Structure formats: C-alpha cells, structure tokens
Structure 1
Amino acid sequence: MRVEPVWRSADSLGQALHLLRMSGVFYGRSEFTAPWGIELPVWPNCVMFHFVTEGPCWLEVEGTGGQWLSSGDLALVPHGTGHLLTSGPGERTTKLTDLPRELVSERYEILRHGGGGPATTVICGAVRFDDPAARQLIGLLPQVIRIGRTDSPQGDWIDATLRFIAAEAKQLRPGGDTVITRLADILVIQAIRSWIEADPAARTGWLGALQDPRIGPAIAMIHRDPAHPWTLATLAAEAAMSRSAFAARFTALVGEPAMAYLTRWRMHIAQTTLEQEDLTLNDLATRLGYQSEAAFSRAFKRVIGTPPGAHRRTH
C-alpha cells in the first residue's frame, strides 16, 4: 500500500513533539526561607524544571549567568546541567544531596531549608527522555528556558498543571505515577512550544527543517518508518521534488545529506534499543531495515564509534 505523499502531511514539528514521551525521575516541593541556597547536581540525559509558586528565587546555570524567577515562573534546565537555586546572587549554597528531605512516595519528596526569613516555595522535577527524536530536539534547546506567567497566555494553565502534579504525588492514588508522567509531558512540551514560538533560533537547523513544508514531512516519514527502504529518489518523489533539488534543500536545512540522516537516525534508535531491550543483534538489524547483522554492525560502529555488542555491555 502506497504511503500518501509527505507534502500532504501536516505539522511535522508537532509529530516530533508527540515523541517527547518521558519517564519521571522525581518530583518534589521545596519550601525555603531566606537566606537559603542549594546546589543541584548534574543529571545526565534529564530535563529539570522549577516552578515558583511563592516568593522570589535566583537561578544560576553555569555559562548563562543568573536570573530572577518570580511566583508563576517556570524554568527548564534542558541538559541536566548542574545549577544553583538561591535566595539571591552570591548566597552560600548546600548540596542537594546533603539536605534532609521528607520522602512522601518513591517519586515525590518535600525539602525544607533556610534561615527563617521570607518564604519561597518551588515545585521541582526531573524527567528523562528516551526516544531519539526527543534527544535530538532536547539537544537543540538553550541552557535555560524561562516562561513567565505574564509571557504566556497559558500561565494559569501551567500553574494548575503543576498543582495537579503535586496533588497526585501526595495522594498516591492508583495510576498516580502515570498521571504525573503524562502531565509532565504536557508541561515540558508547552514550555518548549513557547520557546519555539518566541526564539528565532528555533527556525534554523533541524527545527527549521521540521517546519519546512517539503523537507519537514520527509523527516517525519523517516521517523515514523525508519526500516522502510528509503532512497534519495523515493524521498524526493514523496516530497514532489526533483532528486537534485530535494538533496540540496535537505542538506542545506538539516546540515547533512538525507541518506546520512537516515542512517544516523536508525543508529540512534539502535542505541536506545540496546540500552533498554534484550533483543538479538540480528532481530534489531531486521527491525531497522538491514538485510544482515554484519551490515547493521558496520553502520553502528561507523556512526556511534563502538560495535553494538560493546555498547550494550557498557550500558
């Protein structure tokens, strides 16, 4: 059965955002009284968020300087970078791991810290992305994304979502973890959407290519069916472009040729699968459209730098 031409497919960027399914690492409420300061550790492959529900807070991420957050502000630290939350610039900090915390559930805790002065309350969370499309998108985000309540018409909605997450975590009703994770999906996606709408940098490179009416749907087709025997000719035909025009436009927007992108995308999927599933290399090769395990292994080592078996053992 023939796939409909990709140029008829709508919202390729939306399809990429749809793949931003995540797993929660932890959520918590932090109750601070000035003066206070905490140092959050590096958290690889995670996006951390902080939502201020009361009082001011100073956020400082290495390499970006610092900025004030006020009640109603949401800040994302997309790359798991270590950072500081304090009652003001230059305040003395204590490592998060050195502070006592009240464990409410396996995923939710309450932290109380400070010197007894004016209060600040922050809902914090860390979520992890596993899908290759999610990793690709997260890798393009800036070091910090700040969404102020006054900056977005969704401010009240974000506030309600965070409060719902906190309520679910404390009540521990059946299915609560699933509800929390899905709400976090929506929350982080909304913040990323706000950044994409506001920042010109989101209209260049891979993100810009996703929004291109010809190249974006072609990328989406690769994402949806990476095992399909795509060729430059078939992708160009589906985009209703000549082969040469498609190749030039794809490379100009994405930064690499279409077939190189296809191979790299397959290898990112292979990485995730090797880390999470007990699948034979032959079955994985078949799943990704390779005719033999040897051909798959050569491609994996060329793109990732190590053989697939070694990658699995390492991770």
Structure 2
Amino acid sequence: MDTPPPPDLWPSIDPLGEALHALRMSGVFCCRSEATAPWGVAMPPMAGCAMFHVVTEGQCWIETPDAPARCLRPGDFVLVPHGHGHRLVSEPGGNADELFALPREFTSGRYEVLRFDGGGAACGLVCGAVKFEDPAARRLIALLPPTLWIEAGEAPWMQATLQHLAAEARQMRPGGEAVVTRLADILIIQAIRAWMAQDTTARTGWLGALQDRAIGAALAAIHRDPARDWTLVSLAATAAMSRSAFAARFTQLVGVPAMQYLAQWRMQVAHTRLAEHGGAIPEVAEGVGYQSEAAFSRAFKRHLGVAPGEVVRRARAAAQ
C-alpha cells in the first residue's frame, strides 16, 4: 500500500518559491569595470552560464544578438541568461576587445577589476558570470527569454539592492566578494520575478504548473525527494486530489504524465550529481531511488543517451 508522505512533503505553500530558492549561484567570475570612453569589451559565449551587468556610474551600450543596441544607465540591470556572447561599448558599433585578452587585476580568485582609460566620459560597471547547479534552477533559467532588462524606473524596489551592490563593488571591504555574490543572487531572482509578473508565457507550461497549488505541491515534493518510492497514488495524495483527476491535470499542465516526469527528473538530478559533484555511481543511483546500479544505468542511458560511467569520465577529464 502507498503510505502518505511525511510532513516535510505535504503540499508546499509556495512551490514556485522553492524553485526560485534553488537559484543559488556558483560564481565563475565577477568583475568591476572602471572605464573612460572610448572603450569596449566583447563578452564571449559561456555555455551553461548566465551573465549580468549593472551600471553604477555613467552609461554604456549593450549589443546582443537578439536586439538592437540599448543604452544602460545607473540603476539598470540586464541578465543574459543563456550565456550568449554580447558586447558592452561606450558607443554603439565601437571597437571591443575580447574579455579574456584584457589585462585584469585580480583581487581574489574569482573577483577582478578591469580598467579602460580612453580619457573621455566615465562609466562604472559590475558584471558577473554565474552557474546554477540545481536542476530546478536550470530548468527555470532555460525558460527565460534571451535577455532580461530591468530599467531603473521599472522596479523601484530593486534600487536599494543595486545601490548596495554598487557601494560594495567600489569599496571592496573584507567580505565584499561574498556580499556582491549574495546581492547578485537577489537581483537575478528579482529580475525573474519581474519578468514572470509581466510576461504571460511565465504562467504556462512548467512554470504555470509550479504556480498551480495542487500540481505545484506534487512537483515540489518530487524535486525535494526524488529517491522516494513515488507512485501515482502517493503523488495524487500529496496534491490532495483523486488519482484520475491528478493524472489528467498533471499531464495537461506539465505536458507529460506524472510518472514520466518523475523518471526524467531523477535522471537530471543524477546527471548533475555525476557531472559536477563527482558522485559515485552506486550512491547517485540510490539517491534517485534505484537500489540496483544496473537498473539505474539502463534508465540513465535510455533517458539521456549516454552511460553514467561516460559522464563521470568526461567530468574527470574536464577537471584535469
């Protein structure tokens, strides 16, 4: 018989909030730029990364593949969530040097300062490239448009955070890198919330399902405990619905049946744990609900097209 879920898996009050909570970033790099015109920097494509820019002083232009050049002023925030290459320049169409070809002053392992001295108008920027490890966070980021813009006047509630970020970047007191990273966390979450409030596409599909009280509760339970021996009956109980009504509504909102989603989710979690955390295959298998390593390996290859051992080998080779 199916047993009811434990209290920590009862219907979530805010399943979407849990997905946003998963947006804990691991920094690839963060930099403060002090520039006087003319200047320009070409940000290279960074697969699997989201890049953000905050103007702290003066103005500059951002050129992205999906939109015309756009002016950024103090208090503006832009997120390039899919790691597409783009340019930051003092004037549209100006020359831009490749980011990693520029001399940089490293203040710590992942924080650096760029300086451009063209002698003209001054501009200050805080920029960063970040990764998201949690599968729920990655899925949410994948749904975002190519560029997210938040102008200073659009979201007054962001300005205090932006001002704090700018102050920390200028002063870089002890612990400043950690503060800048945490503030960037907040800014990205706020930018996504602003997009969700304005864009109707954010209320459909997987995001829409997270915002449904019943189906969102089931999704949150799967995300929290993929190893649990879930069945259609126990997931329906978590959603406080009958089995038939739950099955139909889950498929309608999410786009796939509940048990298929569970299987896919387990494989996404397993891939993350193998590729980025160096987990041992037996432990990873058990962590997503498989008692047999052989059964796990078959399911993994069926869903992802590659064996778990190959994922581990690639990860180790990349780390060398």
Do these two structures clear the TM 0.5 threshold for a shared fold by scoring above it?
Answer: yes
Aligned twin of 2:214: 214
CA contact (8 A) 2:111 2:177 kept: no
Query: What is the alpha-carbon distance in structure 2 between the residues aligned to residue 30 and residue 277 of structure 1?
Result: 32
- Which of 141, 144, 148 aligns to 2:151? It is 148
Aligned twin of 2:118: 115
Matches within 5 A, 1:252-267: 252-267=252-267
Distance apart, 1:73 and its partner CA: 0.2
1:286 partner letter: E
Query: What is the alpha-carbon distance in structure 1 between the residues aligned to residue 8 and residue 235 of structure 2?
Result: 9
SS in 2 for 1:53: strand
Distance apart, 1:158 and its partner CA: 2.2
Aligned twin of 1:83: 86
Query: What is the alpha-carbon distance in structure 1 between the residues aligned to residue 12 and residue 138 of structure 2?
Result: 23
Q: Are 1:99 and 2:97 matched, yes or no?
A: no
Query: What is the alpha-carbon distance in structure 2 between the residues aligned to residue 243 and residue 275 of structure 1?
Result: 36
Query: What is the alpha-carbon distance in structure 2 between the residues aligned to residue 205 and residue 165 of structure 1?
Result: 38
Distance apart, 1:260 and its partner CA: 1.2
Matches within 5 A, 1:2-21: 2-4=5-7, 8-21=11-24
Query: What is the alpha-carbon distance in structure 1 between the residues aligned to residue 168 and residue 81 of structure 2?
Result: 19
Per-residue CA shift, 1:268-310, capped at 9, x if unaligned? 1111111233433222211111121111111111111100001
Give me the TM-score of the superposition, normalised by structure 2.
0.91
Give me the TM-score of the superposition, normalised by structure 1.
0.92
Aligned twin of 1:134: 137
Q: Are 1:60 and 2:63 matched, yes or no?
A: yes
Query: What is the alpha-carbon distance in structure 2 between the residues aligned to residue 98 and residue 176 of structure 1?
Result: 26
TM-aligned CA distance change 1:179 to 1:33, over 3 Å: closer
Per-residue CA shift, 1:11-58, capped at 9, x if unaligned? 110011111111112211112222222111111211111000112211
TM-aligned CA distance change 1:56 to 1:163, over 3 Å: closer
TM-aligned CA distance change 1:91 to 1:268, over 3 Å: same
1:249 partner letter: R
Query: What is the alpha-carbon distance in structure 2 between the residues aligned to residue 5 and residue 95 of structure 1?
Result: 49
TM-aligned CA distance change 1:195 to 1:119, over 3 Å: same
Tell me whether 305-314 or 247-256 shows the greater mean CA deviation: 247-256
Q: Which runs of 5+ in 1 are unaligned?
A: none
Query: What is the alpha-carbon distance in structure 2 between the residues aligned to residue 110 and residue 209 of structure 1?
Result: 42
Backbone CA RMSD of aligned residues: 2.0
CA contact (8 A) 1:236 1:242 kept: yes
Per-residue CA shift, 1:48-99, capped at 9, x if unaligned? 1100011221111213333221111011111111111112222222111222
Aligned twin of 2:304: 304
TM-aligned CA distance change 1:63 to 1:11, over 3 Å: same
Corresponding residue pairs, total: 312
Matches within 5 A, 1:170-189: 170-171=172-173, 173=174, 177-189=177-189
Aligned twin of 1:239: 239
Query: What is the alpha-carbon distance in structure 2 between the residues aligned to residue 70 and residue 164 of structure 1?
Result: 16
TM-aligned CA distance change 1:304 to 1:161, over 3 Å: farther
Aligned twin of 2:29: 26
Query: What is the alpha-carbon distance in structure 1 between the residues aligned to residue 37 and residue 163 of structure 2?
Result: 26
Aligned twin of 2:201: 201
1:189 partner letter: I
Query: What is the alpha-carbon distance in structure 1 between the residues aligned to residue 148 and residue 108 of structure 2?
Result: 28
Query: What is the alpha-carbon distance in structure 1 between the residues aligned to residue 168 and residue 266 of structure 2?
Result: 35
Tell me whether 59-68 or 133-142 shows the greater mean CA deviation: 59-68
TM-aligned CA distance change 1:299 to 1:265, over 3 Å: same
Distance apart, 1:7 and its partner CA: 7.4
2:45 partner letter: V
CA contact (8 A) 1:7 1:214 kept: no
TM-aligned CA distance change 1:6 to 1:65, over 3 Å: farther
Distance apart, 1:194 and its partner CA: 1.6
SS in 1 for 2:190: helix
CA contact (8 A) 1:40 1:82 kept: yes
1:217 partner letter: A
Distance apart, 1:148 and its partner CA: 1.4
1:125 partner letter: G
Q: Which runs of 5+ in 2 are unaligned?
A: 316-320
1:115 partner letter: G
TM-aligned CA distance change 1:285 to 1:155, over 3 Å: closer
Per-residue CA shift, 1:168-225, capped at 9, x if unaligned? 7x33x3x555444333222221221121122222111111110011111110000111
TM-aligned CA distance change 1:188 to 1:119, over 3 Å: same
- Which of 158, 162, 171 aligns to 2:161? It is 158
